[in-house]
Amino acid sequence: MADPLSVASGVAGLVSLTIQATQLACKYVAEVSNAGETALQCLRSLSLLRDVLERIHESEQSEAVASIITHRTDLVSPGELEKCTNHVEIVRQRLQALFHDDGKVRRRKALIWPFQSKESAALIKQLEDFRDNLASVTAANSLEVSAKSYAVVSETQKDVSAIKTSMQSGLQDEEARKFFTWIVPEDTEQWRLGNSMTVPVGSGGYFLDSVEFENWMNSTGGILWTHGAPGSGKSVLTLQAILYLQQQLSSSPMVLSHFCDHRDPLTQSPGHLVRHLIKQAALQSPAVLQELQTRPEYLDSRRSGRSLRMAEAQRLFIDVCLAREQFIVVLDGLDECAEELNATDARQNVMTLMTTAATTNTRVLVASRHLSDIATGLGSCTQFQVRVPDDNLREYVVERLAGLEKRMPSAASLISAVVDKVVLEADGM
């Protein structure tokens, strides 16, 4: 495994080198009127590579991010960084040779782009490959931040005092501890509540402002199915929806949530999912907790020592939790829900449970990929396809390029073309 300190140092140096090469490319394009498409492509590749490197470097410097992420830049090999550094240095040296020491362009040399056609294509391909490889690090880090952030945002600030009191008084009691152990013998701590997290950077307001979300919010029950491609931002939108619901709603209905984490098989189990929802309901509602502790299923288990069965858990959730209180159930990652032998059956069991819940004055928000079995099970529900509007993407790219314009005012004329190109190729992702 790579030494994190040496890799972090390599990233910092590569950021500086890439900025230098980008500035030279930008200056070349700005001063040479017939620079050509190849020069623009090189500038674009350098700019995007620099953007990814800066994000990695910023995460390395952030104590808040470092306290959450476990997989740091050791995902990047020193060899990969060295290759990237060598190629960027070649670009920097070739471009530097086109300018005098005072920074003015050598007119005769600059008339010809310093790379032959095949060499330019290979260079641009290499820069794009480096960018994609390094982007996988930021994607892995972002996924971990989202997943761990998701696990601590299941409580509104209004309910913090009441829920903490309930937890302290209930869990200090031996009987309550036995009950919660019976409900969830192996807990992933996803039920842990907190109010210190903020919405991740990025808009996402288009989902909360959508007709589909508004109609679902104004309904008394039903399912809103949010679907999109991997990496399209489903979890981020779901997290933002949870925060919005907690801020907008009073103590009733209460929000229950579950995240099927693809890295944690326990969270993917339908049995654990329904137990997790029951536990949240009991923690938020003393009335639900009291009734559950008097149910025959629990009293029988105290005598026999047997565990809670899946069918019993579903019955308790419907007959006690949903009958006692009004809830909004948020389920993210339904496509990751699976049993050891049959994922389709596992998802069908969960969809049946959610459909039943949605007929008991309960609203359900589900996020997943668009799989055929899920489309069959939820196809009749209200649907929202995750696709970031071009205006949102444009605002984001302009904001990211603002720093370049400040450092190099001559780049202003290129920003519009770069923004249009990025928005077009992103295609809503």
In which domain, by residue range, is 107 found? 4-147
Q: Per residue in 161-189, pLDDT tens? A: 555 565 555 455 778 888 888 888 876 55
**Residue 228 falls within a domain, yes or no?**
yes
- Burial annotation 385-408 (CB, 10 A radius, 16+ → b, else e): ebebeeebbeebbbebbeebeeeb
- Which of the two residues, 148 and 366, has the higher pLDDT score? 366
Tell me which of 16-20, 315-319, 374-378, 401-405 is least confident: 401-405
**Residue 134 falls within a domain, yes or no?**
yes
Residues 119 and 92 in one domain: yes
Q: Which residues contact 347 (CB under 8 A, 6 or more apart)?
A: 334, 335, 337, 338, 371, 373, 374, 377
CA proximity to 150, closest of 59, 237, 77, 270: 237
> In the chain, how long is the greatest CA-to-CA distance?
93
**Residue 429 falls within a domain, yes or no?**
no
Residues 155 and 125 in one domain: no
3-state class of 259 per DSSP? strand
- Of the residues 147, 174, 206, the one at which a domain ends: 147
Tell me which of 18-32, 117-131, 388-402 is least confident: 388-402
Q: What is the DSSP letter of 39?
A: H
- Split at pLDDT 50, 70, 90, the class of 366 is very high
Q: What is the mean pLDDT of residues 8-12?
A: 69
- Split at pLDDT 50, 70, 90, the class of 197 is very low
Which pLDDT score, from 0 to 100, does residue 200 have? 43
Residue 68 clears pLDDT 80, i.e. is over it: no
Q: Per residue in 240-267, pLDDT tens? A: 888 888 887 766 788 999 998 888 888 8
Query: Strand 382-385 and strand 222-227: pairing?
Result: parallel
**Residue 73 falls within a domain, yes or no?**
yes
Counting every residue written for the chain, the total comes to 429
- Of the residues 96, 112, 147, the one at which a domain ends: 147
Q: What is the CATH number of the domain that holds 267?
A: 3.40.50.300
Which pLDDT score, from 0 to 100, does residue 261 have? 84
**Residue 421 falls within a domain, yes or no?**
no
Residues 182 and 246 in one domain: yes
**Residue 426 falls within a domain, yes or no?**
no
Tell me which of 145-159, 275-289, 324-338, 369-383 is least confident: 145-159
3-state class of 382 per DSSP? strand
> What is the distance between the alpha carbons of residues 180 and 167, in angstroms, rounded to a whole number?
11
Q: What are the strands of the beta sheet with 327-332, ordered from one edge?
A: 254-259, 327-332, 363-368, 222-227, 382-385
Residues 77 and 191 in one domain: no
Q: How many domains does the chain have?
A: 2
Residues 174 and 143 in one domain: no
Residue 59 clears pLDDT 90, i.e. is over it: no
Residues 171 and 142 in one domain: no
**Residue 405 falls within a domain, yes or no?**
no
pTM: 0.56
Residues 239 and 198 in one domain: yes
Residues 137 and 189 in one domain: no
> What is the distance between the alpha carbons of residues 246 and 236, in angstroms, rounded to a whole number?
16
Residue 218 CA neighbour count, 13 Å, CB half? 8
Q: What is the DSSP string of 371-416?
A: -HHHHHHHTTSEEEE----HHHHHHHHHHHHHHHHHH-GGGHHHHH
**Residue 394 falls within a domain, yes or no?**
no
> What is the distance between the alpha carbons of residues 225 and 243, in angstroms, rounded to a whole number?
18
Residues 143 and 256 in one domain: no
Residues 142 and 156 in one domain: no
Residues 163 and 72 in one domain: no
Residues 157 and 131 in one domain: no
- Of the residues 100, 117, 147, the one at which a domain ends: 147
Residue 342 CA neighbour count, 13 Å, CB half? 7
> What is the distance between the alpha carbons of residues 404 and 124, in angstroms, rounded to a whole number?
20
